[in-house]
Amino acid sequence: MERAGRRLDRDFFARKADALAVDLIGRVLVRVTDEGERLAGRIVETEAYLGPEDKAAHSAGWRRTPRTEPMFGPPGLSYVFLTYGMHHCFNIVCDREGSPQAVLIRALQPLEGLETMRRQRLSHRGDPSRAMPDNYLCSGPARLCQAMAIDRGLNAVDLTRCERIWLERGSESSSERMEIGNSARIGVAYAEEWADARLRWFEVGSGHVSRGPEGSGGRRGAADGSGISSPAGPGGGTRTTERAGARPGGRTR
């Protein structure tokens, strides 16, 4: 059996975004700061962006620009973009080189370095003295980037080799106990028939999931995975786990 802390390799990311997005739930994102501190969070929410045919993806219609270039790279590359001119979003490139698919990491359950995460989140809010509960630290794509000090400096890095940011397998025992819900993505109403594609996954009952359909972000929501199926995305409501670009993210929560 693989060690819980083992880094995920390129083969893990070499599959379609919808398959990867499900299997990323329960994995651990690790960030080592410039000061050498290890920050870590367990992934509890993801969204898949399926490339050229997906009208919610940055690469829709084979759009290839300097911004989207990382999406055309090898699986396991990072894709960090700025939305609304102020919020960063962290994505993982997948499938194969030249197939511009990505998975947006929407929320984490903080595991290590919580006080540093809290300080970094509060500094972005301009009120370092304010209290912030743990389940608000990484409950959204912009929040987790603030907490983990992820910005464009970590764009297009190889997550299978980088010593500043990578992903680990996580605890097999906790993964076996989880239930995974499935819904439409958040903030992609512009994507026509793709707006209702069931390409968002989340850990049911987690208090760290972002606000939105079946989410909590500090407020527990329904977790029945209700929504409309899309031909491109797997359907279904909630399930017990079986391990097997917004635009990645759209609107930042």
CATH number of the domain within which 63 lies? 3.10.300.10
DSSP code, position 212: S
- Residue 251, in any domain of the structure: no
pLDDT (0 to 100) of residue 221: 31
pLDDT (0 to 100) of residue 1: 35
From first to last of its 253 residues, the chain has per-residue pLDDT tens of 344 679 999 999 999 999 999 999 999 999 999 999 999 999 999 999 999 999 999 999 999 999 999 999 999 999 999 998 899 999 999 999 999 999 999 999 999 999 999 999 998 877 766 789 999 999 999 999 999 999 999 999 999 999 999 999 998 656 567 999 999 999 999 999 999 999 999 999 999 999 755 544 433 333 322 222 222 332 334 444 434 344 444 433 3
- Residue 37, in any domain of the structure: yes
- Residue 171, in any domain of the structure: yes
Q: Are 200 and 45 in contact (CB under 8 A)?
A: yes
Domain limits for position 95: 10-240
Distance CA 92, CA 89 (A): 10
DSSP code, position 176: H
Asked whether the whole model's pTM tops 0.75, one would answer yes
Print the SS3 string covering 95-122: CCCCCCEEEEEEEEEEEECHHHHHHHHH
Question: What is the count of structural domains for the chain?
Answer: 1
Q: Are 96 and 14 in contact (CB under 8 A)?
A: yes
- Residue 248, in any domain of the structure: no
Q: Are 58 and 81 in contact (CB under 8 A)?
A: yes
- Residue 252, in any domain of the structure: no
- Residue 183, in any domain of the structure: yes
**Angle, CA 226 vertex, CA 223 and CA 230 arms, to 5°:** 130
